[in-house]
Structure 1
Amino acid sequence: MYILIIILFIIIIILFSSLNKRIRNLENEIAKIRAEKSEKSKDEIKDFPEKKWFPLEEEIFESDLNPSETKDIEEEHKIRISPIFEFLRQNSLAIAGIFTLVLGIGYFVKYAIDNNWIGEVSRAAIGFAAGAAMIGIGHFLRKNYTVFASIITGGGIAILYFTTTIAFREYHLFSQNIAFFMTCLITLISIWLSYYYKSEILIVFSLFGGFLAPLMISNGEGNYPFLFTYITVINLGMLVIAFLKKWKSIGWIAFIFTSIYLFYWTVTKTDIIAVFFYMVSYIIFYVFALQNYFTQKKLLPMDILMLVLVNFTAIIGTVFIFKQLQYDPILVFPLAFALLNGFLLYREHQEKNFGTAHSIFSGIAVSLITVGFALQFSTHLITTVWAIEATLLLFIWKKTGLRVFRIFFYILFPLVIIAQMMTWVEYVDAKNLNIIFNPIFLTSSVTVFSTFINLILLRKKHEKTAPENSFFENLFAVVSYTVIYLALLLEIIYHISEKPLIIIFGTAMLFSLYYIFTILLFRRKLEIGQMLETGLLYSFLSLIILDVIIAGSGIMTDIIMSKIAQDYYFIYGLYLIPLLYTILKILPESDFFKIPLSYWLLTAVAVTAVSMEIFHMYMLIFSENAEEMEKLQEYFTLLHLPIIWTILASFFIYKGLKTNAHEYGKAGFALLGITIIKLYFYDVWKMDNVSRIIAFIILGVILLLSSFLFQRLKNIVTTMVEKKDAFDENNIK
């Protein structure tokens, strides 16, 4: 069996060497052909101006961008991103091979351990030897196979890290200090190799190993100051290499790992020392984000995103620590960061550069000042920071036109809504909150303010937005108005929560009506779309029906039962102001009547409002107790309600004939039919003889008058048509 394996291994080596020789011959032939073509092409293109086929991102990102420039940048982003996918496509086998080889070595060592072939020291030695061997192989292959050699070297570094971890945690061959020293040494060696080989891939392996090393050798004691001293050293090395080699990926990897470690430390063990490391990390990554700004006087999209994230993650961490330890003032960090951005803004202003950098620094500075004062008034940290950060991302999208910030805004805004909903839940258990000046409402105010700014920014951006995105923008508008509505409504309900339930409901309904009415009143300035405007009108009229039936009847009943004062009925009646203005002014100017159903809804509102208000007044005047209420209610339903409905039906029929709005006429006839059905199938059996005679006489008179009026209008219309036809014939003759 072993002989067959050896023979197979020899055959594989022979085949590989033969294939490798052929590949080298092909490479030499291709190199000769390229050399010949390059000599010919030099003569052909020497008279043409030099052209950069792949412009750098620094060269095309200027100040406020027009749509064509934005498209160019987006195409450039595709050019920058495509090599990543191309690298993965071309080197997927190599990456899979490295992982497979590492696993194979691991399984071999495990098999050897299970069979007691080697001891613990020998096991660690094999691991270190295998890692060093792979690094050596990568070193010899680096000239002809750069990418492949980097992957091989990265695999060797990974083996060294894992071997050190296993030797410390499982075999206890050396102490934690020695293990930490060895991981640091491996990290330094890998960073030096990546710099020496000029390989960004290799330094990515190095950073992953360097940041994961503390987890590998951790014993659970949580020595955070020592840990972040080590991380700071790694970040400083990253910053130096980033400036020397302009490798952006390493900065993002370091930022993500550092933020995770810092937040974990902040949550699990809140310590004032962490503030120092937050500040150090802030400076390091802020300098990293401004690399191109210092060297090229320009800000790239990913640099802007890094600036936003660095500022707001630092605020979340430092303010959380101050709040937990009850230190003050909290706004010291937002203001300090705002001063730094303000200095850069002043620098841009002095040089009269009013482009992208000027807008970004001003936006960040204003956002930080807003966050600082909001947090000082004890607003909720996450909700406030996310709300302002979302607005800042939308502002940057507006100024640059780059889709990456729009995507991040649409990702962050739902998180703002979730955080705000969690804030509202605190109303349930809150006690003795001040009016307006309480943490919950102040947090809601920040969200409302930022949401309103978002609506303004999105409205200004609407002209440049593609039509297919209108759905998301309409949805965003609906959600935004809903957030503002709930923020105000919940604060009102909390402070009247001790009132009777009908008062709470009536107040909520009245606020809802005035809120929708306010939006409709300023619909032109807010640039409310036709669809949203029609939806608001339908909601407004539907709420009127619910308010009149539920709130009005409930308040009337409680007044008669002496549970509440009569003044509440006058407050409830304030709904008539927006209702009358909407019917007389807003509806005629809108597209409300383009939908036939709208006539029926308006008719239902008029019938309900008139009927119920007459009923309420009737009960308040003549009823003094619960027993009289029941009798008067039945009397009103049997005698007065049919008369009211018949008059209203006649009015709608008349209006339909006069204005050619046939839906009014149909609604009038429908109401008249309901009245007649109610009379013959319900009312007659509940009345006494005298009331029955009076109802029939009055109803009969109204029906005759309505019929007469209808016939008269019909004759008038017929006469007008005949005169028009005669006039047309005379003109033709």
Structure 2
Amino acid sequence: MSGFLLTILIIVIIFFIFSNLNNKIRRLEKEVHDLNLKINQPQQNTVIHQQPVSDIPAELHQTQETIIPTTNTPDQLPLQPQKDWLEPVFDFLKQNILTIIGIFTLVLGIGYFVKYAIDKNWIGETARAGIGLAVGAGIMLAGHFLRKNYAVFASIITGGGIAVLYFTTTIAFREYHLFSQNTAFIITTLVTVVFIALAYYYKSEVLIIFAMLGGFSAPLMISTGQSNYLFLFTYLTLLNVGMLTTAFLKHWKSVGWTSFVFTSIYLFFWTLRQPELLSIVFYIINYIIFYIFALQDHIKRNILSPWDTLMLVLINFSSIIGLIYIFNTLSYEPVIIFPLLFAGVNALLLLREYGKKNFGYSYSIFAGLTISLVTIAVALQFKSHLITSVWAVEASLLLYIWKKSGHSIFKTCFYVLFPLVIIAQILTWSEYLDKDNMGIVFNPVFLTSLVTVTTTVVNLFLLKNINKIQKPEDGFFENVFTIVSYSIIYIALLLEIIYHISDMPWPAVTSIGLLFSIYYIFVLLVLKRRLGIDGIIQTGLIYLLLILIALNASFAASAVVTAVLQKKLTSGFYMIHLLHWVPFTYVLWNTASNTDFYKTKISYWVISVTLVIAVSCGFYHTYILNSVNDTSLIYKTKEHFTILYLPIIWTVLASIFIYTSLKKNIPEYGRIGFVLTGIMVLKLYSYDVWQMDNISRITAFIILGIILLLSSFTFQRLKNIIKNMVDKKEDEKEG
């Protein structure tokens, strides 16, 4: 008991010291206020004597001119930098973090003290609850007296007192069983009502947020583990109606967002744990409440803020996810009723804007929501996957709103949601591994992919238009988004193709996959101007196309030829395989004058190596197919082509590279030609000569001699050209 008396004594001493300090602080504040009044008082009786300009020395006169302030016209006034939307939050925390920590520490201290008293059997269970309620009321009373001079501080103090009341009621019900659940609920409801009334009376937005947090936490505090959802959501509906009333009277948007977050958590938990038709009623009720909340400024002043727009997007799509999950789980039809119903609501608002001939921001938002919801309804009708479709459409809607409004919050939300769309789509694609005998195109996996592909195309179009209007501050994210978007479209189409040809031999699957990849990139390059593809993305696509062509012409073609010789594929399939020459010819033709592609020397080498591989392998595989009837002779035929015909092909290609170098004045092609010649000579001397008969050996040496002579002549000609150019430049300098 001595410890209890000592604690009370310490509290009294602290209160006395705080009271003295508080009086001194008030006297200092009054003195500072008086000094400010004296300093700012206009000096009417002061006479300013100015010295004639002629009597001022020249140096002082010049100095005086330099310090004359210049007045800015309204157009010349510097623009105030826009504050980050998180800055008010950080300012609030910087100014009140000690208060928040202090009240939290005080509540914990009181809790530990009561526990200590309980452990020592100083007080009984009823007294414990009484002390807790008295302490909470006392803290609230202290906040009441401090509210005039310290509004925010008093709000936090009052919130701490309310928290003590909530926790005391919870402990009294769950631990001590002093009253029933209904009584505990009535007490917590009364505390919440008092809390809201005080917040309204004090005109404190901080206090109303504390009240809402307590109101939504109360059901958890008095829960017994038994699920009475009707009772719970009736209470939450009343709480949200109070929120809506407060939001309309005081225009406190944070209250509505707090309610939305907690209500959504409760609804989704109910939906996942025990889906039933009753929850649909509360989904509709909350949809109406939060829709009215989001439209309050639109109703009063015919405007929509970015946060109101975000609420419209979230309440539409979160409600659809929950409602359709319930319908699918309980096997009810039709699932498209809710997207169409919500689309109808937005269509009415759209018609209202159209009737007023107002085609501004609000009109665009309602139009976007209506189209998005109808799109989801169509996707659901064909049994596509819900989450992926909803998120994909919602991401496009956020980007559309960003384009129309210019508010960066929608851009941020889009970049947050888009990775989730990718994850959901990847999970959808994984179902290709588990499902058999799905229809072509009209199957749930591809229909979901089709929604994602459509929205991705819309995203690319919107982003292109946005970048035309406002130049992006950092193109890195835009480039990454563009690459990822085209990759999603590519993978969606490729997986559908591979799924339906998976029964074919593996060489055929590989070849078709590579051909599709080549033609996909080919189409992007053909449409590059309309799609806005340029710069590093265009160059990257060309590199990727060349690599795929080289793989298709070498490894994939070899597998196809083997399969044809083994009678697994027809020779006609090999002719289809050669279709990579169409995009390759296009690239060769268009990159000839593309200075962006040839900014680096490696570009010449990549395109030249691809050409050598494509030509050599093309002739090689065609020769094998036309010469071999028995697979046992395939090794000898390959060796014959490698020794006799491959050097001839490389000779022609080396000559073409050297000729192009001389004609176009591109030294890099000359180097490539000489390197190819060197490789051929090295191959001839180190391997080929020792495998030939006499006639072939003579032929090879003759060809080699011609090649060496041509190379020597070309080199001499190139050297003379370079020498003449250098001499000409020196003459120009001397002249």
TM norm structure 1? 0.90
The answer (yes or no) to whether the contact 2:681–2:704 under 8 Å persists in 1 is no
Structure 1 window deviating more from structure 2 (490-499 vs 220-229): it is 220-229
The answer (yes or no) to whether the contact 1:448–1:484 under 8 Å persists in 2 is yes
Cα displacement string for residues 562-591 of structure 1 (whole angstroms, at most 9, x for unaligned residues)? 111112111101111111122123543452
The answer (yes or no) to whether the contact 1:561–1:625 under 8 Å persists in 2 is no
**1:23 matched residue in structure 2:** 25
2: distance between equivalents of 1:474 and 1:690? Answer: 59
Is 1:500 the counterpart of 2:505 in the alignment? yes
Shift, 1:135, TM fit: 2.0
| Aligned partner letter, 2:372 | S
Aligned to 2:519, the other structure's residue is in SS state helix
Q: 1:639 aligns with which of 644, 649, 654?
A: 644
**1:322 matched residue in structure 2:** 327
Cα displacement string for residues 421-463 of structure 1 (whole angstroms, at most 9, x for unaligned residues)? 1111111111111111111111111111111111111111113
Shift, 1:9, TM fit: 5.5
Aligned to 2:474, the other structure's residue is in SS state helix
Cα displacement string for residues 672-698 of structure 1 (whole angstroms, at most 9, x for unaligned residues)? 100110011111222233322232223
Structure 1, gaps ≥5 residues long: 42-67
Q: 1:559 aligns with which of 543, 556, 564?
A: 564
1: distance between equivalents of 2:723 and 2:384? Answer: 73
Cα displacement string for residues 682-731 of structure 1 (whole angstroms, at most 9, x for unaligned residues)? 1122223332223222332444455556667888x699989999x999xx
CA change 1:578–1:252 in 2 (3 A) is: same
Structure 1 window deviating more from structure 2 (126-135 vs 571-580): it is 126-135
Is 1:415 the counterpart of 2:417 in the alignment? no
2: distance between equivalents of 1:556 and 1:168? Answer: 81
**2:457 matched residue in structure 1:** 452
**1:233 matched residue in structure 2:** 238
The answer (yes or no) to whether the contact 1:654–1:710 under 8 Å persists in 2 is no
**1:482 matched residue in structure 2:** 487
| Aligned partner letter, 1:658 | K
**2:528 matched residue in structure 1:** 523
**2:361 matched residue in structure 1:** 356
Pairs within 5 Å for 1:531-680 = 531-589=536-594, 591-680=596-685
| Aligned partner letter, 1:545 | A
Structure 1 window deviating more from structure 2 (669-678 vs 578-587): it is 578-587
Cα displacement string for residues 488-517 of structure 1 (whole angstroms, at most 9, x for unaligned residues)? 101111111111111110001000000000
**1:394 matched residue in structure 2:** 399
2: distance between equivalents of 1:15 and 1:350? Answer: 68
CA change 1:354–1:38 in 2 (3 A) is: farther
Cα displacement string for residues 216-240 of structure 1 (whole angstroms, at most 9, x for unaligned residues)? 1112222212211111110001000
Q: 1:698 aligns with which of 676, 679, 703?
A: 703
**1:278 matched residue in structure 2:** 283
2: distance between equivalents of 1:396 and 1:595? Answer: 40
Q: 2:126 aligns with which of 121, 125, 128?
A: 121
2: distance between equivalents of 1:723 and 1:167? Answer: 103
Shift, 1:83, TM fit: 4.5
Structure 2, gaps ≥5 residues long: 44-74
Aligned to 2:435, the other structure's residue is in SS state coil
Pairs within 5 Å for 1:206-355 = 206-355=211-360
Shift, 1:16, TM fit: 2.8
Structure 1 window deviating more from structure 2 (422-431 vs 10-19): it is 10-19
1: distance between equivalents of 2:277 and 2:533? Answer: 49
The answer (yes or no) to whether the contact 1:647–1:702 under 8 Å persists in 2 is no
2: distance between equivalents of 1:40 and 1:233? Answer: 57
Structure 1 window deviating more from structure 2 (85-94 vs 522-531): it is 85-94
Q: 1:437 aligns with which of 439, 442, 455?
A: 442
1: distance between equivalents of 2:288 and 2:255? Answer: 16
Shift, 1:148, TM fit: 2.5
Structure 1 window deviating more from structure 2 (626-635 vs 247-256): it is 626-635
| Aligned partner letter, 1:94 | T
The answer (yes or no) to whether the contact 1:270–1:321 under 8 Å persists in 2 is yes
2: distance between equivalents of 1:394 and 1:9? Answer: 57
The answer (yes or no) to whether the contact 1:643–1:699 under 8 Å persists in 2 is no
The answer (yes or no) to whether the contact 2:674–2:711 under 8 Å persists in 1 is no
Shift, 1:92, TM fit: 2.3
| Aligned partner letter, 2:23 | K
Shift, 1:334, TM fit: 1.2
Cα displacement string for residues 221-276 of structure 1 (whole angstroms, at most 9, x for unaligned residues)? 22212211111110001000110111111100000000111111111111121111
The RMSD of aligned alpha carbons is 2.8
| Aligned partner letter, 1:15 | I
2: distance between equivalents of 1:337 and 1:39? Answer: 62
| Aligned partner letter, 1:595 | T
CA change 1:187–1:693 in 2 (3 A) is: same
The answer (yes or no) to whether the contact 1:639–1:695 under 8 Å persists in 2 is yes
Q: 2:373 aligns with which of 356, 359, 368?
A: 368
| Aligned partner letter, 2:192 | T
The answer (yes or no) to whether the contact 1:271–1:321 under 8 Å persists in 2 is yes
| Aligned partner letter, 1:441 | F
Cα displacement string for residues 303-355 of structure 1 (whole angstroms, at most 9, x for unaligned residues)? 11111111111111111111222222222111111111111111112112222
CA change 1:9–1:238 in 2 (3 A) is: closer
2: distance between equivalents of 1:709 and 1:6? Answer: 105
Shift, 1:40, TM fit: 7.3
2: distance between equivalents of 1:317 and 1:39? Answer: 65
Q: Percent of aligned pairs with the same residue?
A: 54
Aligned to 1:173, the other structure's residue is in SS state coil
Q: 1:94 aligns with which of 91, 99, 118?
A: 99
1: distance between equivalents of 2:595 and 2:377? Answer: 43
CA change 1:574–1:126 in 2 (3 A) is: same
CA change 1:123–1:604 in 2 (3 A) is: same
2: distance between equivalents of 1:462 and 1:432? Answer: 44
Structure 1 window deviating more from structure 2 (305-314 vs 641-650): it is 641-650
Aligned to 1:159, the other structure's residue is in SS state helix
CA change 1:4–1:586 in 2 (3 A) is: closer
**2:72 matched residue in structure 1:** none
Between Structure 1 and Structure 2, how many residues are aligned?
A: 699
CA change 1:40–1:432 in 2 (3 A) is: farther
Q: 1:147 aligns with which of 148, 152, 163?
A: 152
CA change 1:11–1:153 in 2 (3 A) is: closer
| Aligned partner letter, 1:20 | N
Aligned to 1:274, the other structure's residue is in SS state helix
| Aligned partner letter, 2:559 | G
**1:49 matched residue in structure 2:** none
Aligned to 2:528, the other structure's residue is in SS state coil
2: distance between equivalents of 1:235 and 1:73? Answer: 38
Aligned to 1:684, the other structure's residue is in SS state helix
Shift, 1:404, TM fit: 0.9
| Aligned partner letter, 1:414 | P
CA change 1:245–1:696 in 2 (3 A) is: same
Aligned to 1:524, the other structure's residue is in SS state helix
2: distance between equivalents of 1:497 and 1:619? Answer: 27
2: distance between equivalents of 1:567 and 1:407? Answer: 52
Shift, 1:531, TM fit: 1.1
TM norm structure 2? 0.90
